[in-house]
Structure 1
């Protein structure tokens, strides 16, 4: 059986790591990566000029701060930040999310800095 015929169990993948704000790649579809991350606290304000960014909350709660409004997400809810829109994710409690974005997208977008991480592959 080919590896592509094996389903990805998100709970199992989330159990493999504990680091916060560190994206883990769990699948690839065309030129896009499906990533998991655990968040708590406030990230950095940043923009992705060339791509939209999809956030899907698996557990916990996430607020996506935009300059003119906050978007509150509960488990099972998703939000797409349009390309070029400055945003800042905030999680008051530990929150697990799924991200869907083009391969190579930096988590800190145009901001860079000490919170920049390259997505690691989870087997």
Structure 2
């Protein structure tokens, strides 16, 4: 079935932070949306590249050798194996495009790991 996706409408369906929701599938990848606030955890994804596309707000992504500040309308692709730390001082709305095998916490399993994200 071919349906359009309204990102704003999908974002209105949840309030929790750091808990990605699936809104579409593309080849062997998920398109996810998430709300972020605060500091996440240092992690990497051994086998998966990850795209962060900012819909609303400003997201700082820290790397061991530099920081990248992303604003609404900008995206960043983080190559597999690169350790990173997302930080959102205020609420950020983001679209993530990543392989279906990608865990939000990558190589770190913690209370923030979402093993089976729900589809909304």
Query: Taking structure 1 as the reference length, what is the TM-score of the superposition?
Result: 0.94
2:119 matched residue in structure 1: 121
Residues 48-98 of structure 1, C-alpha deviation per residue, up to 9 Å, x if partnerless? Answer: 010111000000100111000000000000001111000010000000000
1:46 matched residue in structure 2: 43
2:68 matched residue in structure 1: 71
Cα offset, 1:5, TM superposition: 2.2
- Write the distance in 1 (CA, Å) between the matches of 2:62 and 2:46: 17
Structure 1 segments, 4+ long, off by >3 Å, are: none
- Write the distance in 2 (CA, Å) between the matches of 1:119 and 1:64: 22
- Is 1:23–2:20 an aligned residue pair? yes
Larger radius of gyration: 1
1:105 matched residue in structure 2: 102
SS of residue in 2 equivalent to 1:121: coil
Q: RMSD of the alignment, in Å?
A: 0.7
SS of residue in 2 equivalent to 1:120: coil
- Write the distance in 1 (CA, Å) between the matches of 2:12 and 2:110: 27
Structure 1 unaligned segments of length 5 or more: list them: none
Structure 2 unaligned segments of length 5 or more: list them: none
Cα offset, 1:104, TM superposition: 2.6
- Write the distance in 2 (CA, Å) between the matches of 1:100 and 1:45: 19
- Write the distance in 1 (CA, Å) between the matches of 2:55 and 2:63: 21
SS of residue in 2 equivalent to 1:96: strand
Count matched residues: 119
